Amino acid sequence: MHRSEPSNNAKKQREATIFEAACQVIRDKGFHHARITDIAQEAGISYGLVYHYFGSKAHLYDAILEEWWNGLFNALEETDRQSAPVETKLSAIVHYFFDLYDQRPNLVHIFVTEISRASANLTPARLKFFKIFFDKTEKIMAGAQETNELRSDIKARYLTYIFFGALESFVSTMVLENQPLKGPAQKERIVSGLLEVFLNGAREKERSRKQPGGRDR
C-alpha cells in the first residue's frame, strides 16, 4: 500500500502540471490553435506524456470545463446545506468567479473566451453544464420568491438570466481588458456592487397596506 503512494502522488502532480500548462497555452493561443506540442513544452515534458495522461486536446478541454463547473456546483451545494438566505447563495456564485479570477486567472479567461462566448466549442455534452447551472440558480430564485425575499412578478428563470448576464458581462469586461484585481478590498466592492444592483431590482418591495381611496385592506 505505502509503495504505491509516491507514484500516485507523482501522477497527480504530473496531471496538475499538464492541466495548468494547457490552461496557459489555451489562454495564449485559443483552443483551436493550441497544440499538444505547445502544451508539452509549457509543461516541460514530452508530448507523448500529455497523450498518456489526457488522451487528446479535446479531453484536456473537457477536463478544464469539469474543473470550472464542479467547483461552482460545490460552492452552490455548500450554501444549500446551510439553508442560507438568497443573498448568501448568490454571493457564493459571484465570489466563485472573482476568487478564481484572483487565484487562477487562466481558468476564468478560458471560461469567458472559450466556453461562455465560443458557441463553436459548446457541444450538447458541454452545454449540459450550463443547463445544470441555470437550473440550480433558478431553484435559488424560486425558493427566494416563496419566502418573499425576491419579487414574484418576474419569472425565476428570467431572474436567473438577468443575474448571470450581469455577472458574466462584468467578468468578461475585466478579462478582455486584462484588468487584474487590485486586492481583496476591490474584490469585495465588486461582489457587493453586483449583488446590490441585482437585488435592488429583484427584491420584494413592501406593499402598501391601503387600497385605492385610502381604505385599509
Cα torsion for 104, 106, 108, 110, to the nearest 10°?
-150
Q: Which domains does the chain have, with CATH numbers?
A: 1-55 (1.10.10.60), 57-202 (1.10.357.10)
In tens, the pLDDT along 9-25 reads 888 899 999 999 999 99
Is residue 141 within a helix (H) or strand (E), and if so which, with residue range? helix 124-146
- pLDDT at position 168 over 60: yes
Q: Which residues pair with 210 in a beta bridge?
A: 216
Give the tens place of pLDDT for each residue, 68-96: 999 999 998 888 887 889 999 999 999 99
Per residue in 27-46, pLDDT (tens digit) is 999 998 999 999 999 999 99
Q: What is the pLDDT confidence band of residue 206, given thresholds at 50, 70 and 90?
A: low
Which tens digits make up the pLDDT trace of 189-199? 999 999 999 99
Q: What is the mean pLDDT of residues 170-187?
A: 93
Q: CA distances (Å), 108 to each of 5, 115, 137, 215, in order? A: 32, 10, 19, 55
* Residue 192: all three cell numbers together: 457587493
Cα separation, 31 vs 123, in Å, equals 14
d(CA 199, CA 193): 10
Interval 95-116: pLDDT, tens: 999 999 999 999 999 999 888 8
Torsion-angle region of 50 (φ positive above 0: left; ψ -120 to 50: alpha; else: beta)? alpha
**Nearest-CA neighbor of 101 among 193, 184, 43?**
184
Question: Is pLDDT above 70 for 211?
Answer: no
List strand residue ranges (DSSP E) for 14-170, in order.
none
The three cell numbers locating residue 144: 427566494
